A and B are shown apart, each in its own frame.
Chain A
Amino acid sequence: MKKYDLSDKYKAIVIGGSAGSFQGVVKILSNIPENFKLPIIMCLHRLKHVRNGFVEALSIKSVKPVHEPFDKESIKRGRVYLAPANYHLHIELGHTFALSTDRLENNSRPAIDITLETAAYVYKEKLIGILLSGANRDGAKGMKRIKDRGGMTIIQDPSTCMIDTMPTAAKNLTEIDYSLDVDEIINFLKQLDSQYK
């Protein structure tokens, strides 16, 4: 089993991926400890005009309910959040969410770069970014920002991705701390959680 350089300094986890990473996300959310302590903030590419269904589908399998935050809602420990359809999800100073309908970035709304970059700004070195399988380059700049601010970067091992454009783009742009398959990511999260009392 892999060993990771872990501590309890981290305050949040952001996960990016595209529609193709749905299975991986489901597996992660159904295998993390029930009282997982850090907030998990997910930005996944999804159909822009389907407001319902996605969060419910994730919640059924997840050990915790998955919640699409409202504008200006505060980020709470131990909760799992998903960027709502057709909105960009920003993290604000003071640890609240803010939504915007700003133009598409990387052809996407929600755009992973926006969530990752704004989270990096707020959480600095206390952030872990995980980028899963995906078909475009969204998220690469966000991962670079996380690394530049001292946070930890993890990608899904490109050789285990259905479509590896997304993690590969991140790897080419910035330093990646760990390249892991989905089971290893689960294991990583378990080890991380055990750092917290």
Chain B
Amino acid sequence: MQEIEIANLRKLTEVVKATYNYDFTNYAMSSFKRRISRVLDLFNFQSVDALIAKVESDPKFFETFVQEITVNVTEMFRDPSFWRLLREDIVPNLLLNHSSINIWHAGCSSGEEVYSMCMLLNEMGILDKSKIIATDLDKGILEKARSGRYKLKNMELHEKNYIRFQGTHSIKDYYTIKGDEIQMNPELVRNVSWREHDLVNGPVFNKFDLVLCRNVMIYFNQNLQNEVLKKIHESMFKYGYLAIGSKESLIWCEIANKFIVVNNEEKIYKKIKE
């Protein structure tokens, strides 16, 4: 793997910004650099300059590039204890003063988290009281999410998580097997709208009662985390909930004082100030 100069990374992110209006300038440097190295190896570029020239001149390649440098690894019911808390505490609390709930999955990747949410809501009998918007920056991965087709071999892990979540069904009720793939039941996501959206440069487009932005901001540096958190805050109703990844923290963000910690272990926060 080639070691890349930071100055070259800067050049690359400048070109991407100028050409496509995606801004990776403030992504966390170490893992971003590693993924660029991988792109160089994967497509046999001799230098970052060669990659820059290709990215600049070939929008189709740029899409592939985005897919390679975003980290899309995800799971159904990742951190089962988090999902139990949603079911037992957070969602019931929301239902106390809402007849319907608005949910945003920011950085939904290939959609496993969204299908998990829909299973949870379905088992609580409130799927049709819910409106869900699932967004990601990466076009290709959103297509995959929309299709609801996953590798059969990944279902073993998802099923283990589902069992630890203590779902009331069998996860197998929610899909059919087609060869080495599975097809999620499309009825499950009837209230989901999948959209391309960039947390960094995109607009604040709606208000939500519950936002899941898990394992997305870890790819940003602290300045960018702060900026993005401001946007998320603006996208939430007062007393709405925000969930981040289990090893993320808001404490070092300026805007943290507008939230309180609801559960520190599962990283759930509540917006208490506009």
Confirm or deny: B225 has a beta carbon within 8 angstroms of a beta carbon on chain A: yes
The one of A49, A72, A114 that contacts B225, using a Cβ cutoff of 8 Å = A72
Asked if A102 and B249 make an inter-chain contact with CB atoms under 8 angstroms apart, the answer reads: no
Asked if B247 and A114 make an inter-chain contact with CB atoms under 8 angstroms apart, the answer reads: no
Asked if A100 and B218 make an inter-chain contact with CB atoms under 8 angstroms apart, the answer reads: yes
Q: Is the interface of A mostly helix, strand, loop or mixed?
A: loop
Asked if A92 and B248 make an inter-chain contact with CB atoms under 8 angstroms apart, the answer reads: no
Residue on A nearest B80 in the bound complex, by CB: A49
Given A51-B246, A72-B222, A87-B247, A102–B30 Cβ distance below 8 Å? no
Confirm or deny: B110 has a beta carbon within 8 angstroms of a beta carbon on chain A: no
The one of A84, A92, A93, A96 that contacts B247, using a Cβ cutoff of 8 Å = A84
Confirm or deny: B28 has a beta carbon within 8 angstroms of a beta carbon on chain A: yes
The one of B30, B35, B249, B252 that contacts A98, using a Cβ cutoff of 8 Å = B30
Interface string of B212-223 (1 = CB under 8 A from A): 000101110110
Asked if A93 and B29 make an inter-chain contact with CB atoms under 8 angstroms apart, the answer reads: yes
Asked if A71 and B249 make an inter-chain contact with CB atoms under 8 angstroms apart, the answer reads: yes
CB-contacts of B217-238 with A (<8 A): 217-219, 221-222, 225
Interface string of A89-117 (1 = CB under 8 A from B): 01111001011111100000000001000
Asked if B30 and A92 make an inter-chain contact with CB atoms under 8 angstroms apart, the answer reads: yes
Please report the C-alpha to C-alpha distance between residue A98 and residue B30 in the assembled complex, in whole angstroms. Answer: 8
Interface string of A43-83 (1 = CB under 8 A from B): 00000010100000000000000001111110000000000
Asked if B29 and A101 make an inter-chain contact with CB atoms under 8 angstroms apart, the answer reads: no
CB proximity of A62 to chain B, nearest CB, Å: 20
> What residues of chain B lie closer than 8 Å to A69, measured between beta carbons?
247
Count, chain B residues at interface, CB 8 A = 28
Count, chain A residues at interface, CB 8 A = 25
CB-contacts of B177-229 with A (<8 A): 215, 217-219, 221-222, 225
Confirm or deny: B133 has a beta carbon within 8 angstroms of a beta carbon on chain A: no
> What residues of chain B lie closer than 8 Å to A124, measured between beta carbons?
none
Q: Which residues of B contact A (CB under 8 A)?
A: 3, 28-31, 34-35, 71, 73-74, 79, 81, 157, 160-161, 215, 217-219, 221-222, 225, 245-249, 252
Listed by A's residue number, 26 A-B pairs whose Cβ atoms lie within 8 Å are A49-B157, A51-B81, A68-B247, A70-B247, A71-B218, A72-B28, A72-B218, A72-B221, A72-B252, A84-B247, A88-B31, A90-B28, A90-B30, A90-B34, A92-B29, A98-B30, A98-B31, A99-B218, A99-B248, A100-B31, A101-B215, A102-B31, A102-B35, A102-B71, A103-B71, A118-B34
Please name 4 further chain A to chain B contacts, defined as beta carbons within 8 Å, in addition to the given A69-B247, A102-B73, A118-B30, sorted by A numbering. Answer: A70-B248, A90-B31, A101-B218, A103-B71
